Amino acid sequence: MSQSPGRKQENHKISRELFVLTYGALVAQLCKDYEKDEDVNTCLDRMGYSIGVRLIDDFLARSAVKKCRSYSETADMIAQVAFKMYLGVTPTVSCRSAVGNEFSLILDKNPLVDFVEELPAERASLCYCNLLCGVIRGALEMVHLAAEVTFLQDRLKGDAVTEIGITFLRRPEDRKHKR
């Protein structure tokens, strides 16, 4: 099929509501498939990791960002560019360590939980949005930044905010190549 020269190619984007509802159905199905919350959390993290490994190419191509020179710049890039680009929100970044390798992304609003009021009592240890941790970890690994990514606070569990912790596992001097 040919496209007329004066007509712009349409961007087909999935609606946010459809994505959030589909994600909710995915988590619900995983809860049916696995008895333990830890198994659901692991599965969500693995899925997110696979997404992050592939998503980084799209992110780098669409955002045209330059190489980050510090962990602080990397955390800011994740919050101000990646979250805005893919989820439409901009988390606040705060440094949690004097060394400068631990950061928190604090989300006042988490779009993945728009239609979720609270977790059932029997699913108290479920990390509903653990997919996000895997996405961040997978994307960082593809740019050679090993990191541990975990939920520190979750509004679905009664906390005031949703907070994702990122701990970079290597010191900056470890990243330099030895000759």
| pLDDT tens, N- to C-terminus, the chain (179 residues) | 445 555 444 444 568 889 899 999 999 999 999 999 999 999 999 999 999 999 999 999 999 899 999 999 999 999 999 999 999 899 999 998 888 999 999 999 899 999 998 888 899 999 999 999 999 999 999 999 999 999 999 999 989 999 999 999 975 555 454 44
Q: In what order do the strands lie in the sheet with 92-95?
A: 92-95, 102-107, 162-168, 147-153
| Category of 126 on φ-ψ map: left (φ > 0), alpha (ψ -120 to 50) or beta | beta
**What's residue 174's pLDDT?**
52
**What's residue 12's pLDDT?**
46
Residues 128-179: pLDDT tens digits?
A: 999 999 999 999 999 999 999 999 999 999 899 999 999 999 755 554 544 4
Q: Using CA atoms, how far apart are residues 82 and 79, in angstroms rounded to an integer?
A: 6
Domains of the chain: 16-168 (3.30.1380.20)
CA angle 60–143–101, rounded 5-degree value: 115
**What's residue 173's pLDDT?**
53
**What's residue 139's pLDDT?**
96
Q: Using CA atoms, how far apart are residues 58 and 101, in angstroms rounded to an integer?
A: 26
Query: For residue 101, what are the contacts with CB-CB under 8 A and spacing of at least 6?
Result: 71, 167, 168, 169, 171
- Whole-model pTM: value is 0.86
